Amino acid sequence: MTHSDPLRLSVLDQSPVAEHWTAADAVRNTIDLAKTAERHGYHRYWLAEHHASISIVGVSPEALIGPVALATEHIRVGSGGIMLPHYSPFKVAETFRLLGAMAPGRIDLGLGRAPGSDQRTAYALQRDRSRRIPPDDFPQAVAELLAYLSDSLPEDHPFAPLAKTLPDGTGGSPDPWMLGSSPDSARWAAELGLPYCIADFINAEAHPLAELYRRNFRPSRWAAEPYLMVACWALAGESRAEAEDLALPSQASFAHFLRGTPIRVPGVEKARALLRDHPPGRTMNRRLLLGDAAEVRAQIETVAALYGAQEMMLVNIMHDHSKRRRSYELIAESFKLEMAA
């Protein structure tokens, strides 16, 4: 894909759990939204990893990728992302090669360093609890994982024979990505020659990372040239007023999360009351793209130009699944994405 190609749009799903819903409801909604995204021309559908959150059921992207991939036909499906410090690189390689066998040529392996949780949960996720803070060996773990997928460990490496035991990659290895919102992730993505996804919805001041990535990029077997995707929080309604209302549940849920009193995603009117009675205190630096379809398209294009992104990945959380599905439909229609037959 070149810079003159049309902007690609994709979806990041955190699998939210609304008030009075169950985890089973949230999973059904995830699969339904993936099918909607495919039907309306989105390029890829990623599942997030978050832990110890009652408002998000997406604790295990690798458990959701298979069902989503089998429920769809051509959209790419992947992790946004696998928080590699929690896992063995070999286990991740095995899992994603197996997923690649389920949906040949359609699996993405997005890798991140963040814990996807608070520090207590991160500690609980550790297999070795001999020390409270594990070693920061993320770059080495990524290099080992990529070496398994490419069967490029040195012959004298004790794990070298394991690469040949991975599930047969008939559709090729899963496509690895680096995810992040810090200079470290931009440098790692560039040095390893990986496509890079910047989490603007976490850090709205991350645009300098794009140039850092492009300036230091080294071509590799994974990517011949830099490829940049930006993940943004985006919500479209039939009108701006509706979009502002639909954004209230996630705002109320996030405010409670920051206060240490987590709740499931409330309905619009309950969210309005919660925010009125307990105004948000400290907030994170977050960019919110919202309005009617035309307004959101203009905002998406502005952010894409700011980063020089070839692809935009859109994420949101709502209480009403039908409105959430409609938001993605409206954005797809505004961009005139090609609908699947």
On whether residue 307 sits in a domain, the answer given is yes
CATH assignment of the domain containing 243:
3.20.20.30
Q: Which domain, by its residues, includes 149? A: 8-334
Question: Between the CA of residue 8 and those of 102, 271, 310, 337, what are the distances in Å?
Answer: 24, 33, 7, 9
On whether residue 256 sits in a domain, the answer given is yes
The answer, yes or no, to whether residue 341 has pLDDT greater than 60, is no
Q: What is the mean pLDDT of residues 262-271?
A: 94
- Condensed to tens digits (0 to 9), the pLDDT of residues 282-313 reads 555 689 999 999 999 999 999 999 999 999 99
On whether residue 339 sits in a domain, the answer given is no
What's the confidence (pLDDT) of residue 283?
54
Q: Confirm whether pTM is higher than 0.85.
A: yes
On whether residue 1 sits in a domain, the answer given is no
Our count of domains for the chain comes to: 1
On whether residue 246 sits in a domain, the answer given is yes
- Condensed to tens digits (0 to 9), the pLDDT of residues 185-204 reads 999 999 999 999 999 999 99
- Condensed to tens digits (0 to 9), the pLDDT of residues 44-82 reads 999 999 888 888 999 999 999 999 999 999 999 999 999
Of 8, 22, 7, 13, the closest CA to residue 327 belongs to 13
Q: What is the mean pLDDT of residues 83-92?
A: 93
- Predicted confidence band of residue 281 (pLDDT cuts 50, 70, 90): low
| Dist. CA 143–CA 188, nearest whole Å | 10
Q: How many residues does the chain have?
A: 341
Let me know the angle formed at the C-alpha of 100 by 94 and 101, rounded to the nearest 5 degrees. Answer: 95
What's the confidence (pLDDT) of residue 257?
81
The answer, yes or no, to whether residue 130 has pLDDT greater than 80, is no
On whether residue 164 sits in a domain, the answer given is yes
On whether residue 309 sits in a domain, the answer given is yes
